[in-house]
Homo-oligomer: A and B are copies of this chain.
Amino acid sequence: MANSPSGETVTERIVRVLETFDTDRTVQTASEIGRRAHLPSSTAHRVVAELVSCGLLERDEEHRVRLGMRLWELALRGSRALRLRQAALPFMERVQARIREHTQLAVLENGETLFVERLSHPQAGANITRIAGRLPLHASSAGLVLLAHGPRELQEQVLTGPLDAVSPETETDPARLRRVLASVRRDGVVVAPGTVESVSTGVAVPVREGRGPVVAALSVVLPRDAPTRPAVDELRAAATGISAALEAQRP
Instruction: List A residues at the B interface (Cβ < 8 Å).
Output: 1-2, 9-12, 14-15, 18-19, 21-23, 25-27, 46-47, 50-51, 53-56, 66-67, 69-83, 86, 89-90, 93, 107, 109-110, 114, 116, 119-120, 122, 130-134, 251
Tell me whether B54 and A80 are in contact (CB under 8 A). no
Question: Which among A67, A69, A130, A131 has the greatest number of chain B C-beta atoms within 10 A?
Answer: A69
Contact of A110 among B1, B23, B26, B70 (CB under 8 A): B70
CA distance A21 to B19 in the complex (A): 22
Contacts of A12 in B (CB 8 A): 50, 54
Contacts of A93 in B (CB 8 A): 93
Contact of A67 among B55, B80, B86 (CB under 8 A): B80
- Beyond A11-B54, A15-B56, A110-B55, is A75–B78 a contact (Cβ under 8 Å)? no
- The residue in chain B whose Cβ has the minimal distance to the Cβ of A1 is B46
Tell me whether A69 and B107 are in contact (CB under 8 A). yes
Contact of A251 among B1, B27, B75, B130 (CB under 8 A): B27
